[in-house]
Amino acid sequence: MGVAEAKGLRPTWGRPHGQTRSILLNALGSHGTFGSIVIGRTREKVLRAEVIHGNNAKRPCRAKGSNAVRVLLNGVSRSTCKPGGNAPSSAACRR
């Protein structure tokens, strides 16, 4: 969760589902990055992640395994959009 916190993704625990648990990611602002990380319930091993880089993303980015998930999260930039802002895209927040 340390990398997710450093990127401003506000990680929180989701409900258990079968043999897995999720960490939900949700940055502030309407165009912030969001998604989830799925881990095993017993060994707490990172299994996979899906991250969407804001509301104007073309498609989700997916990774399998702890190293690939770490690389994916390290590629996330902090959102510059303000909560409640009405910018049409994440690029418009940077102006």
DSSP labels, 51-85: EEESTT-SS-EEEESHHHHHHHHHTPPPP-PPTT-
61-77 pLDDT, tens digit per residue, is 999 999 999 999 998 87
21-45 pLDDT, tens digit per residue, is 999 998 877 677 889 999 999 999 9
Question: What does the domain layout of the chain look like in residue ranges?
Answer: 2-93
83, 28 contact by CB (below 8 A): yes
pLDDT of 95 above 50: no
76-92 pLDDT, tens digit per residue, is 877 666 665 666 555 65
pLDDT confidence of residue 4: 87
